[in-house]
Amino acid sequence: MSDEKHDRGGEIELSALRPRGLPLLKPLYGLPPYKYTNDVVLMIAYEAEEAAIREVLPRELEPLAGNTVAMCFFLCPDVTGMGAHNFTMPCIPVRYGDYTGQFVPYLYTSTDASLACYREIQGWPAVLGETLVTEEGGLVHARVVRGGCEVMSATARVGGEAITTLDFLPIILYKEIPSFDGQGCDAACFITSTSLLTNLNFKAGSGELRFSDECDEPITRLKPLKITAALYGTLDDLYPETVRILKDLK
């Protein structure tokens, strides 16, 4: 083999200004933004104990009055860059200084592509778990299973006039990438993002949410004291519509 071929190196060109994704020859997921089409969503809004909410919040975030949590169950049949998957997350209305958003302390998602994408790009706190949602005659059932154990289940009875507009607070996330020596972080920052939601078609009603006592999952701290609302329906989502760093902690 000639010296010229030894010096030529590999065929893949890398650039920090033009990310390729990993693995290099077949990236696990595509680059943002992501278009979600015809998502099925169940949201159970409830009041939780203030101490339980503070237990899952960073010190920089203050829960809003009412100690509200919105547990959101999503079926996502068509997502660009990630493919079909499902996920569940609690959203907690909070204040960061004079900025208001909703913090997500946990997220259960069903595929390796969505898990890696949510965690690596923006710091969604994702672990593997399966979300199931079914509806018949206005009665909705949802459950989340992780490692063969049911983490939570929900039921809702919805009906009445269609709801086509909803107000959603911006998402606040903490993105962290530890360094190899375990003594610090390559990245540590609060990030906020918004979604462009379209084609909303929801109905409202009442619901229940139950956590399992058999699973050792931190999310079970957020037990409901009082259910305040349930929403069920479909939407399309372009995410992120906007994104910015709130604070760099490095």
pLDDT in tens, 182-198: 999 999 999 999 999 99
**Residue 110, both tokens:** 């069903």
- Tell me: the pLDDT tens digits for 191-221? 999 999 999 999 999 999 999 988 889 999 9
Domains of the chain: 28-248 (2.40.400.10)
Tally of residues, the chain = 250
Residues 228 and 206: their CA atoms lie apart, in Å, by 8
Cβ atoms of 249 and 203 within 8 Å: the answer is no
Amino acid letter at 29? Y
What is the three-class DSSP state of 24? coil
How many Å apart are CA 111 and CA 129, to the nearest integer? 8
Place of tokens 């009055």: 65
| Chain segment 143-190, per-residue pLDDT in tens | 999 999 999 999 999 999 999 999 999 999 999 999 999 999 999 999
Please report where in the chains the tokens 């190899």 appear, as a residue: 180
